Amino acid sequence: MGDTQSWTAAPAAAERARSVLAAAWSCAVTAEGGREEFVGAHSVDDDGRVLLQVPEDSALLAAAICAPRGEPSAVLEFADVAPVPVRNRIRARLWLAGWFVPEDDHLAFRATRVVLRPPSGAAVVDLDEFAAAEPDPLALAEAQLLTHLADCHSDAVERLTRLVEPDSLHGAVRVQPLAVDRHGLTLRIERTRAHGDVRLPFHTPADTVADLTERMHVLLTQASAASCPRPLQRQRTDGDG
């Protein structure tokens, strides 16, 4: 069953791509020398260029040094993984195709094509927009924020379901916080054999964690004034009790 809640006030593709890049801890690199996985080895400069620290015995480093013009083609892959345990934890994948250039003690990667693939479908991100975009201001704090909400405030998550249209909660067996950005909170609604996502937009963007606290209080106040949805109420009665 599809979810009828409207997706509104969402980050643009370029901003989403830069957020994935900023928060990812690992990346996979496919180049002429094969495929290698790197953990905690990359950083990103202001215009989205990836700087990769590689071991001296890396095949990728050898390919970069020996290739003509020192620029081997490569594809970098990053996964956006939900910090809260849910079904299908990969929220999006990001691919960057381009060129590596050896610089000092690292490899610098300049993208010539950027593709972001969330569940809604793959999109090619404009390179100028990608370079100009900034990561969501909550991107680096998101994992801690969501795990705290799920682990310590499950009652608040349940209350927020009062803001979800009843059709989207039909057959729900569990609701978890899936994502948060400056524009809103996304809930993952899990059913016995399927799942769907519903977005609760903030009334105005949150640029800091303090802003986010206020926006969440507004949503919870709105939820408290709303009636409890019958589908979830029935699930609580029929569940573990």
DSSP secondary structure letters along 56-81: TT-HHHHHHHHSGGG--EEEEEEEEE
pLDDT at 32: 78
Half-sphere exposure (Cβ direction) of 17: Cα atoms closer than 13 Å: 30
Angstrom distance (rounded) from CA 13 to CA 170: 30
Beta bridge partners, 144, equal: none
pLDDT at 176: 96
**How much is the pTM?**
0.85
- Contact (Cβ atoms closer than 8 angstroms) between residue 188 and residue 168: no
- Can you tell me whether residue 233 is helix, strand or coil? helix
pLDDT at 5: 44
pLDDT at 198: 93
The string of pLDDT tens digits covering residues 73-131 is 899 999 999 999 998 899 999 999 998 888 888 999 999 999 999 988 999 999 999 99
pLDDT at 68: 63
pLDDT at 229: 55
Give 173-177's long-range contacts (Cβ < 8 A, gap of 24+): 173/235, 173/239, 175/232, 176/84, 176/85, 176/86, 176/150, 177/84, 177/146, 177/149, 177/150
pLDDT at 8: 53
**CA separation, residue 114 to residues 18, 33, 62, 135 (Å):** 10, 21, 25, 15
Query: Sign of dihedral through CA atoms 144, 150, 155, 157?
Result: positive
Q: Is beta strand 172-181 parallel, antiparallel or unpaired with respect to 184-191?
A: antiparallel
- Contact (Cβ atoms closer than 8 angstroms) between residue 235 and residue 173: yes
pLDDT at 237: 34
Torsions phi, psi for 134 (to 5 deg): -120, 150
pLDDT at 67: 66
Question: Hey, what are 145's tokens?
Answer: 């924020």
Extract the residue ranges of the chain whose pLDDT is less than 50.
1-2, 4-7, 230-241
| Of 107, 125, 126, residue with least CA distance to 36 | 107
pLDDT at 153: 96
| Of 101, 104, 30, 98, residue with least CA distance to 70 | 101
pLDDT at 7: 38
